[in-house]
Structure 1
Amino acid sequence: MIIALCNQKGGVSKTTSTICLGGLLAESAKVLLIDLDPQGNLTTGLGIEVEDDQLTAYEVITEQCSTAAAIAPTKIKNLDLLPADISLAKGETEILGKVGNFCLLKEQLETVFDQYDHILIDCPPSLGLLTINALTVADQVLVPVQCQFFALKGLAALLETIESVKKRLNPNIDILGVLPTMFEQTVMARDVITSLEKRFGKSLVFPAVPKSVRFAESNLAGEPIHLYVNEHKLIYPYKSIIKAMEA
């Protein structure tokens, strides 16, 4: 299964959620994480520093190398990474004029599909060409949403983009669900979740991820949250996502 974690707003825990979900899945399956954000936070969040001569998502998306050549192992068993750095921003510009540029990632990933049980794509905070490439290859979309006042702003544009991709490029894509993040026991946070449930239906809104400094600490340690600290309330939302994936 290929899941794109997508929201054009930054700071909604896309990267943290990719690491947490990928780490849990890797306990019983072979998992590939793809860093499709030029900021490279997924890469650094797994404790990997891109070397000057290292192949990355930039070389893959611009067809300078195979996907397999750029994949790097992480220190976590069964968890591999297609890393990224700032060069990927240049790559998005370079593929603008290419025929079939929406499908480049899909074509490149086809060579490694049979090597992994799950592929998770950490999308950039935009609805540009890199995100469209992710949606074109994905089976499902997971939408992390911060429990803040402006969190719902822009969701309509994201949903329109997903529908457009479904109509024109990838008829099999569906929304796995919405993941409320950085939840605090406030009226505003509860109102955000209520609004999400009204918009998507309760079955598509996963249990909220609490706001916790432990996530930032685990990212600095280069580990998924369940390996860094065994706190049920922090891990439970991601286990709920896995349960939905298996349904």
Structure 2
Amino acid sequence: MSIYRGKMNWYEYANNEEFTVILPCGKRLNDPINLYWQWTKDSSGDRNVNVLSQTTITSVTQTGIPGEVKFSCLCNNYYTFDITSKQYGTRLSIFMRNPRGDTSSEMVLQKFYPSQSRTYAGKLNWYDYAVNELFIVFLPAGLGEDLRVTAHWQWTKNAQGVPKVNCDVNDKQRHEDKDPNKFYFKNGYYTFKCTADNKNKTLLVTMKDPSGNSSGPMMLKLQSNLE
């Protein structure tokens, strides 16, 4: 599985929003592809609405350039994403278009390492710094001490006041008690305490800082599982 991270821009509806593309199997015709972002404002005027699209690759074209392949997919039966995998899969160049032919500017996503098999998504809230932001957590096939966990979101504004800064965490699972469904991970400052249900369908996450301030639990739902 390959995970790519960058920014989504689509006219006034998505303004510099967190954008994650997941290629669970590869870049062949009919292979699955997942695209996750949030609308700054959707067509109904609602803000920070998650889009969690799971679709398939509808066309593949070899460009003749070493390490490069083009492919497309249809999202929500409306938007087409024309994607070029470049530099042997280390980055994606993406153009988004609608049926009228309106087309986005180029969106460049970089490959994120490592990738994991289970994907959870929901919303993150942390005071004024993260307000109803898309929150994605990737876990491996099992839970256990020192197994990897990655988490991804964007700050509404970071500590320096800069808006819409992507944040990516790569850590290991740590356990405080004997409950195999409970673990925590860190990003160097914040601690994220997690509880998975017995069927691994949901993940409850509570975020804490060193001063003891906390937010949550926030419920993330399983989006895909490649076990």
- TM-score w.r.t. length of structure 2: 0.33
- TM-score w.r.t. length of structure 1: 0.31
User: Between Structure 1 and Structure 2, which shows a larger proportion of strand residues?
Assistant: 2
Kindly indicate whether structure 1 or structure 2 has the higher relative contact order, using CA contacts under 8 Å at least 6 residues apart: 1
